[in-house]
DNA sequence: CAAGTGACGTAGA
DNA sequence: GTCTACGCCACTT
């Protein structure tokens, strides 16, 4: 059995709240959890979603800071893009989502200040 | 405990 | 727009 992963669980709980048609970034999720520099960890956590969780967590609504799909595997990219478009999230030619328009919880995301 | 590993982010070229 | 180089951090080995 996997060891306890508290941060992982917090990530899952938060990502589950992203509404249909909206997206968030890894950095945004990390910041909202009080760890503005743990974006990589957010990605790793979602990467490990498997079995039942993958069907309940809207992992496809999480993108990188450029509004693009981070994973390289073509199959995976196609799936994520499909799931997004299915709920009305359109992508530009370069394959990027307009975050200004589709970002979830802009207010909270505002405190993404780099510093 | 030390080293390795990324669904990351930013700055710079 | 693309690409690299680094820093960062939770997790794994």
Render pLDDT for A31-90 as a digit per residue (tens, 0 to 9): 999 999 999 999 999 999 988 889 999 999 999 999 999 999 999 999 999 999 999 999
Q: Produce one character per residue of A62-82: b if its CB has 16 or more CB atoms within 10 Å, e if not.
A: bbeeebebbeeeeeeeeebbe
Q: For residues A81 and A69, is the Cβ–Cβ distance under 8 A?
A: yes
A104 touches strand B (CB under 7 A): no
Interatomic CA–C1' length for residue A69 and nucleotide B11, angstroms: 21
**Section A88-107 average pLDDT:** 92
Which nucleotides of chain C does any protein CB come within 7 A of? 1-2, 7-12
A50 touches strand C (CB under 7 A): no
């Amino acid at each position: 059995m996997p060891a306890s992963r508290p941060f992982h669980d917090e990530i899952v709980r938060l990502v589950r709240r992203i509404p249909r048609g909206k997206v968030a970034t890894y950095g945004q999720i990390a910041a909202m959890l009080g760890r503005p520099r743990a974006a990589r960890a957010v990605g790793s956590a979602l990467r490990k979603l498997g079995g039942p969780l993958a069907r309940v967590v809207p992992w496809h609504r999480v993108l990188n800071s450029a509004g693009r799909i981070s994973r390289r595997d073509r199959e995976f990219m196609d799936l994520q893009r499909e799931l997004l478009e299915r709920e009305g999230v359109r992508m530009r030619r370069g394959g990027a989502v307009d975050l200004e328009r589709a970002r979830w919880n802009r207010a909270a995301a505002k405190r993404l200040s780099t510093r």
